[in-house]
Structure 1
Amino acid sequence: MTSILGISALYHDSAAALVTDGRIVAAAQEERFTRVKQDASFPANAIQYVLAEAGISGSQIDHIVFYEKPFLKFERLLDTYFAFAPSGFRSFREAMPIWGREKLFQRRLLGKALGRIDPAMGDPEKLRFSDHHLSHAASAFYPSPFESAAVLTMDGVGEWTTTSAGVGSGSDLRIDRELRFPHSLGLLYAAFTYHAGFKVNSGEYKLMGLAPYGEPRFAQRILDNLIDLREDGSFHLDQRYFNYCTGLTMTNARFDALFGRERREPESPFEQFHADMAASIQQVTELAVVRMARDLARRTGENNLCLAGGVALNCVANGKLIADGAFENIWIQPAAGDAGGALGAALAYWHLELGGERPQPEAHAMRHAYLGPGYSGSETQTALDAAGARYELLTDDLVVDRTAQALKAGKAVGWFQGRSEFGPRALGNRSILADPRAPDMQRRLNLKIKFRESFRPFAPAVLAEDAGDWFDLGEESPFMLITAPVAQAHRTAHAEHRRDLAHGLNTPLSDIPAVTHVDFSARVQTVTADDNPRFHSLLLAFKAHTGCPVLANTSFNVRGEPIVQSPADAFRCFMGTGLDVLVVGNCIMEKHQQDTKLAQSYAEEVPLD
């Protein structure tokens, strides 16, 4: 039996994953333990967790694989500086001490950090390094249900690569095309994220959510000036408009002049201009992704496509890919960003370096993302007692029914069950749930519970067997990574309704307005009894009480903090927000029954995102 530890760290979204004989045992992000969003530090807590989940010690780890090659990254930094010198001196001067102190000696630093967890893991012979985009590609193909598939990865940048394409077949995976820095679809989208006043590597979700309120009136200007996009999806970015190669910002004065507006100050009011900019870059991104996929389908002849990299988290673009039909089937790694690189690094080493066989589909296919820590009933009660919670302990059936009735009554529920999700989406184990039929629920969840912008949409979790009746969705969407239209039969507004920021927020659009975006789209999660029986039971119970098989589902956290990991995290968030009910395992508690001294001013404690 061969156990491989994969690690991603030291940029953002640090994580650890454990693979044994090609099977995924456990995976988790460091942020969930440290409570620092997108924590980039060495994932000591995540490593300790995956070892404990597997019931093994460090001496039983055969290989440790880091998700990228630091020396190649350093090469890019040097080459970029010399290409743009002297304009990049300031950023070069600030980066060099970090590289000189840490990055160039990463093998030694990683070995020491691993040795502190278990001396047996500090052996330098165990440590290997994978290519960044190979890690992404492996995370996409090997856990997919496909025997063979085309593979496309897109992100900001790895060592040099920003986009890669190839083919996986059985245990083999080869990358045969790539685009290189500074030409990056991820960095182009990040530039608009930055200009909109959002945080790069965090606010891209916000930009995507803002886009449907606007018109893509700047799309042609982007295509004429910023990106030379070819028919095969390859492209070239005009670096005169960007600052990420040489400066400490994403865009520059030339970019501002092109669109006639300086960068929006964070937390300042939105104008229609910002929605139109978001709509424009979203349309260009979709066009580029679809062209890449069409070319890949033509070149490979494959019917299946696997996606990873940060751009693969753009669920609107994913929906356009599916609707385009270049591929019959698409599978997207739920932890598509750098966290998933830890998983991909381990899988790539097992298959490509050790020649390991791919397990049967039922063993290797990643049907769900519940790979993080879970808590027993006694552990849950001990944590809640220590926090001073007042709760009832119910049977399985009763806790589900009581929760469904609370949701029907319009209460917002923190729902904490089983093992936590790997990746950025809460998929029914660390979720905030609500009745999607309530017209004011979107605004209430955003402002009183999540403490975030009111325009941001929520996702519908729907019984897989009922999904086709409520959404124009051609396939399952277990990871909430595909956007689909709400079915015409459930729409209540006319297609010509106003989609601008001034009117779009206050117009009920469907029978489930809390999860229907201004363009009638929804980021759907389909739930099956096999993949999450408890969440499926809750949806069934809610349907029995209301006739609606859909719940509004958002991650159990507030803006600026990671998704809750432990029962203590859940109770703290419950007491610092407008949540009405908390359900942790079989323990259920209501806000009005809690000790008011435990209430917290949560919104002021969490940094802005």
Structure 2
Amino acid sequence: MRYILGISCYYHDSAACLLQDGCIVAAAQQERFSRQKHDAAFPAEAIRYCLAQAGISLQQLSAIVFYDKPFLKFERLLETYLAHTPRGFRSFLAAMPIWLKEKLYLKTVLRRELRSLAGLDSKTTLPTLLFSQHHQAHAASAFYASPYQEAAVICLDGVGEWATSTIWHGNGRQLTPLTELHFPHSLGLFYSAFTYYCGFKVNSGEYKLMGLAPYGKPRFVEMIYRELIEVKADGSFALNMAYFAYPVGSRMISNKFEQLFGAPALAADATPSQHYLDMAASVQQVTEEIVLKIAQHAKQLTNATKLCLAGGVALNCVANGRLLREGPFPEIWIQPAAGDAGGALGAALLAWHQYYAQERHCDEQHDQMQGAYLGPAYSEAEIVKVLEEQQAPYQQLAAAELYPEVARLLAEGKVVGWFQGRMEFGPRALGNRSILGDARSPTMQSVLNLKIKQRESFRPFAPAVLVEQAEHYFALATPSPYMLLVAQLQQRCCLPTDPALSGLAQQALQRSVLPAITHVDYSARVQTVCQQTNPRFYQLLQSFYTLTGTPVLINTSFNVRGEPPVCSPLDALQGFWATDMDYLVLGNYVLSKEAQDPAKLAQARQRYFAAD
């Protein structure tokens, strides 16, 4: 029996993944344990969890694989600074000590951290330590975890070592690189520059920009193509770097960028005017058009009928939806942990299939991700222990009672925290660490945004729908189990609106029979739920369907603003206390907000308020 541990860390979204004879045993992001959003630290707790899930020690591993090659990244950093000297000298001085002390000697750092984690002395021999390249790990996470025996693979992100955009051909266990584009010409960083300009945080606010885009008009598209980016027929592109400062600066954009568009970068958390809405709409359209061209080129290179996607840009579910509708591939599979966290998985799979030369055995009907439910689960005894220690009143229900009761609460307009089974791997809540609401409610979207999630009012919520009923509500030709495809609502579900309203004022309009999940352009980011992958969430949706005639619920991640999604029962309880959630369901245990100690509620809210 061979165990392989994959690790990603030190940049953002650190994670660990464990394979047993090529099968995924466990995978989790470090942020879920440390409670530091996008935690980049060595994933000690994530590794401990993975080893515990398999019941093995670190020394029983066959290999440990890191998802990056630090020397290549250091080469890119040095060449970039030299090319831009003397500009960026301050940034260079800030970066070099970290590299010279730690990142450049990553083998030593990793071995030290691993020995510390396992309580081993410096003389103890560790398992084989391997390194993949960044985009190679992305490609492996997409292809090897997919259900496809052969596929084109596209990886698009900010930057790895040098590569920013790559096309691969996957066939069996072979993963062959075909084309690549190098830094600083990056679709991910191009999109992040507009994210920065519109007042959102880079590497975490890109999905906000995507959600903002439908409120605007793409009136800057021609200017973007004329001044900022040259795109060729094959989807390759070159950025006009006079407008961007990210290679060596502390900002994503230059002053020339702001002068071109006639307004400064928006301050963080400021309400965007129509100008910024139009900027969001414009860059979203350009990004979609480039992705389509890259896909056309991948089709020509591989002649494959299936496509796999990874890299941060693959989390742009609007572009994914358009690619499925208009692109050359009838079948698309997107890695649910498409960002850097998924690099840990890809690195481990790469070692199994290439370093150890193990063949793939594909099931065309099912991928290898197990619904992305790869994180820790908690027993009834563990849940009860937390509730008793925290003196939190609760009610235990049998399964036959639980689902109808929670469905009734949701139908009455209650907001429910839903904590079940194994935690999801990747950025999406998929029904195990979720906050749920009634998608039919005209007020639920604003209630969740302002009172529960404490986030921007314009942000849409995603629907979870029984897979058998999805096509009745959404123009979706394929299941979307990982909430990575945006689809239009079916016309039968839509309501007429006032065309005179524009900008954020459009939020007030009710657009469909499912207003809480219908975005301003009549779209939704859909999760289809099947019984085999998540029987408990499926049963809840089925009970809600039986009660209301609607098989759809709002599903959003269970977290308080500024924190990652919850991992443990204690995390969930504290999040429940700190927000205006009405009920919390931990396994078969139901907690009502009205029954909780007001002093504990006030204390929890103060904790989050002070942190914010």
TM-score range, shorter chain: over 0.9
Percent identical among aligned pairs is 54
Equivalent residue in structure 1 for 2:174, among 172, 175, 185: 172
Deviation string 1:255-276 (CA, Å, 9 cap, x unpaired) is 0001001011112222111111
Asked if 1 retains the 8 angstrom alpha-carbon contact of 2:215 and 2:504, the reply is no
Asked if 1 retains the 8 angstrom alpha-carbon contact of 2:529 and 2:538, the reply is yes
Equivalent residue in structure 2 for 1:503, among 478, 502, 505: 505
Asked if 1 retains the 8 angstrom alpha-carbon contact of 2:483 and 2:525, the reply is yes
> Residue 485 of structure 2 corresponds to which residue in structure 1?
482
Asked if 2 retains the 8 angstrom alpha-carbon contact of 1:577 and 1:602, the reply is no
| Shift in Å, 1:516 | 0.2
| Shift in Å, 1:367 | 4.3
CA spacing shift, 1:308–1:113, aligned 2, 3 Å: same
Distance in 2 of aligned mates of 1:447 and 1:151: 39
Distance in 1 of aligned mates of 2:611 and 2:219: 34
The DSSP-based 3-state class of the residue aligned with 2:202 is coil
**Alignment of 1:405 onto 2:395:** no
| Shift in Å, 1:358 | 1.4
> Residue 78 of structure 2 corresponds to which residue in structure 1?
78
Whichever residue aligns with residue 358 of structure 1, its letter is R
> Residue 23 of structure 2 corresponds to which residue in structure 1?
23
CA spacing shift, 1:313–1:498, aligned 2, 3 Å: farther
**Alignment of 1:109 onto 2:109:** yes
> Residue 358 of structure 1 corresponds to which residue in structure 2?
360
Whichever residue aligns with residue 401 of structure 1, its letter is P
| Shift in Å, 1:365 | 2.6
Whichever residue aligns with residue 464 of structure 2, its letter is A
**Alignment of 1:601 onto 2:602:** no
TM-score (ref. length: structure 1): 0.98
Distance in 2 of aligned mates of 1:218 and 1:467: 35
The DSSP-based 3-state class of the residue aligned with 1:601 is helix
> Residue 290 of structure 2 corresponds to which residue in structure 1?
288
| Shift in Å, 1:104 | 1.1
CA spacing shift, 1:120–1:63, aligned 2, 3 Å: farther
Whichever residue aligns with residue 597 of structure 2, its letter is D
Whichever residue aligns with residue 393 of structure 1, its letter is Q
TM-score (ref. length: structure 2): 0.97
CA spacing shift, 1:195–1:138, aligned 2, 3 Å: same
Distance in 2 of aligned mates of 1:131 and 1:254: 34
| Shift in Å, 1:502 | 3.9
> Residue 334 of structure 2 corresponds to which residue in structure 1?
332
Distance in 1 of aligned mates of 2:341 and 2:293: 27
Asked if 1 retains the 8 angstrom alpha-carbon contact of 2:4 and 2:19, the reply is yes
Q: Deviating runs (4+, > 3 A) in structure 1?
A: 119-125, 496-499, 602-608
| Shift in Å, 1:119 | 5.3
| Shift in Å, 1:123 | 3.6
Larger displacement relative to structure 2 (30-39 or 171-180): 171-180
Asked if 2 retains the 8 angstrom alpha-carbon contact of 1:561 and 1:606, the reply is no
> Residue 41 of structure 2 corresponds to which residue in structure 1?
41
Unaligned segments of structure 1, at least 5 residues = none
Whichever residue aligns with residue 516 of structure 1, its letter is T
Unaligned segments of structure 2, at least 5 residues = none
| Shift in Å, 1:360 | 4.2
**Alignment of 1:572 onto 2:574:** yes
Asked if 1 retains the 8 angstrom alpha-carbon contact of 2:148 and 2:362, the reply is no
> Residue 55 of structure 1 corresponds to which residue in structure 2?
55
Q: How many residues align?
A: 607
| Shift in Å, 1:398 | 1.0
> Residue 470 of structure 2 corresponds to which residue in structure 1?
467
Equivalent residue in structure 1 for 2:305, among 303, 306, 311: 303
| Shift in Å, 1:501 | 2.4
Asked if 2 retains the 8 angstrom alpha-carbon contact of 1:23 and 1:363, the reply is no
Equivalent residue in structure 2 for 1:455, among 458, 466, 475: 458
CA spacing shift, 1:230–1:359, aligned 2, 3 Å: same
Whichever residue aligns with residue 471 of structure 2, its letter is G
Equivalent residue in structure 2 for 1:384, among 374, 377, 387: 387
Alignment of 1:54-453 (within 5 A): 54-118=54-118, 123=125, 126-361=128-363, 365-453=368-456
Distance in 2 of aligned mates of 1:304 and 1:443: 39
CA spacing shift, 1:140–1:106, aligned 2, 3 Å: same
Equivalent residue in structure 2 for 1:492, among 492, 495, 511: 495
Distance in 2 of aligned mates of 1:603 and 1:305: 45
Asked if 1 retains the 8 angstrom alpha-carbon contact of 2:59 and 2:127, the reply is no
Equivalent residue in structure 2 for 1:548, among 544, 547, 550: 550
The DSSP-based 3-state class of the residue aligned with 1:343 is helix
Deviation string 1:206-256 (CA, Å, 9 cap, x unpaired) is 000000000001111111111101111000001100111121110111000
Asked if 1 retains the 8 angstrom alpha-carbon contact of 2:374 and 2:424, the reply is yes
The DSSP-based 3-state class of the residue aligned with 1:287 is helix
Alignment of 1:585-596 (within 5 A): 585-596=587-598
> Residue 520 of structure 2 corresponds to which residue in structure 1?
518
Distance in 2 of aligned mates of 1:606 and 1:305: 46
| Shift in Å, 1:504 | 1.0
Whichever residue aligns with residue 405 of structure 2, its letter is R
Asked if 2 retains the 8 angstrom alpha-carbon contact of 1:214 and 1:499, the reply is no
| Shift in Å, 1:395 | 0.6
| Shift in Å, 1:120 | 6.5
Distance in 1 of aligned mates of 2:500 and 2:431: 33
Whichever residue aligns with residue 490 of structure 1, its letter is C
| Shift in Å, 1:21 | 1.4
Distance in 2 of aligned mates of 1:6 and 1:410: 43
Asked if 2 retains the 8 angstrom alpha-carbon contact of 1:561 and 1:607, the reply is no
| Shift in Å, 1:117 | 1.8
Asked if 2 retains the 8 angstrom alpha-carbon contact of 1:482 and 1:523, the reply is yes
CA spacing shift, 1:498–1:373, aligned 2, 3 Å: farther
Asked if 1 retains the 8 angstrom alpha-carbon contact of 2:59 and 2:126, the reply is no
Deviation string 1:335-366 (CA, Å, 9 cap, x unpaired) is 00000000000000111111012134278632
The DSSP-based 3-state class of the residue aligned with 1:405 is helix
Deviation string 1:142-200 (CA, Å, 9 cap, x unpaired) is 01010100000000000000011011111111112100000000000000011111110
Whichever residue aligns with residue 265 of structure 1, its letter is A
Asked if 1 retains the 8 angstrom alpha-carbon contact of 2:451 and 2:579, the reply is yes
The DSSP-based 3-state class of the residue aligned with 1:331 is strand
